[in-house]
Amino acid sequence: MALNPEDFTTLLLEERDDRLTVLLNRPEVRNAIDQKMVDELHAVCAELERNPKVLIIAGTNGVFASGADIGQLRERRRDDALQGINSTIFVRIAKLPMPVIAALDGYCLGGGAELAYAADFRIGTPSVRIGNPETGLGIMAAAGATWRLKELVGEPKAKEILLAGAVLRAEEALRINLITGIYEAPELIDAAHALADRIARQDPMAVRITKSVFHAPAEAHPVIDTLAQGILFESQAKFDRMQAFLDKKSAASHDKDAPAQDRNRK
């Protein structure tokens, strides 16, 4: 493992061959995102860019992330804002080669919500509370919410969250597809791994290229689709997987056409 879990103080890491699970772990401040956590998330991204795997992000102690660390945020000035401290790491997470799954529990507010918006998939528990209360603190949600949220839930609901401080419960988040499943807290990580298992059954290169093409600008299509398909058409995985499909179909057809007594002998 290139990442040593003992080197991290705000994150708990668990790695498998095809995925990395990262738990936000600052329970004393409800997993508020501070500079140290941002730095450690950059280290995680650097490893996943070198060695692409599915990333599962979750919280600890019944909380995903209560937002940015207000103590640090209060002291930041214009030049700090212009650095885009949180937006830079969230963009990097969104651009990871393999899919990112956010498993949400409890508070998912402010910067925590923007981290969740950067994921490819979001699932949650019945206790999820997700939203962006930044305007109530005299600032704006500047780490992706103003544009990602509109894409995810549409302009009217995005404005209700961003301008009126609406905090959504799990049922409403599910209804508007901000999350795609609700699971009891003890089952949440298992559900995230089940989704990762489904992704793992696909061809990794096809998943990576599909994710890249999906997020390409509209004006890049359909040219980029055609070029990407051309790359995949030459991959050995394409030939192997299609041949396996044809072999399975042929075997099923043979079994269907075989006399009943032959099938019984099998």
Give the other-Cβ count within 10 Å of 116's Cβ: 30
* Residues 86 and 150 occupy one common structural domain: yes
* Residues 195 and 216 occupy one common structural domain: no
Single out the residue in 161, 184, 200 at which a domain terminates. 200
Tokens representing 249?
Answer: 């179909």
Single out the residue in 200, 222, 245 at which a domain terminates. 200
Q: Tell me how far apart the alpha carbons of residues 201 and 89 are, in angstroms, rounded to a whole number.
A: 28
Catalytic residues: 114, 134
Tokens representing 236?
Answer: 């050995």
Please say whether the beta carbons of 110 and 133 come within 8 A. yes
- pLDDT tens digits for 201-254? 999 999 999 999 999 999 999 999 999 999 999 999 999 999 999 999 888 887
The residue range of the domain holding 231 is 204-265
- pLDDT tens digits for 46-86? 999 999 999 999 999 999 999 866 677 677 777 667 676 88
Main-chain phi, psi angles of 119, to 5 degrees: -75, 160
Nearest to 101 by CA among 176, 213, 210, 23: 23
pLDDT score for 255: 79
Give 70: exposed, middle or buried? Use CB within 10 Å, 0-12, 13-18, 19+: middle
Q: Tell me how far apart the alpha carbons of residues 78 and 56 are, in angstroms, rounded to a whole number.
A: 33
End-to-end CA separation in angstroms for the chain: 45
Tokens representing 189?
Answer: 């990580």
Whether this model's pTM surpasses 0.75:
yes
pLDDT score for 266: 46
* Percent of the chain residues topping a pLDDT of 70: 92
- Strand 129-131 relative to strand 107-109, pairing: parallel
Please say whether the beta carbons of 118 and 91 come within 8 A. yes
Task: Say which range, 67-71, 168-172, 227-231, 262-266, has the weakest mean pLDDT.
Answer: 262-266
* Residues 96 and 161 occupy one common structural domain: yes
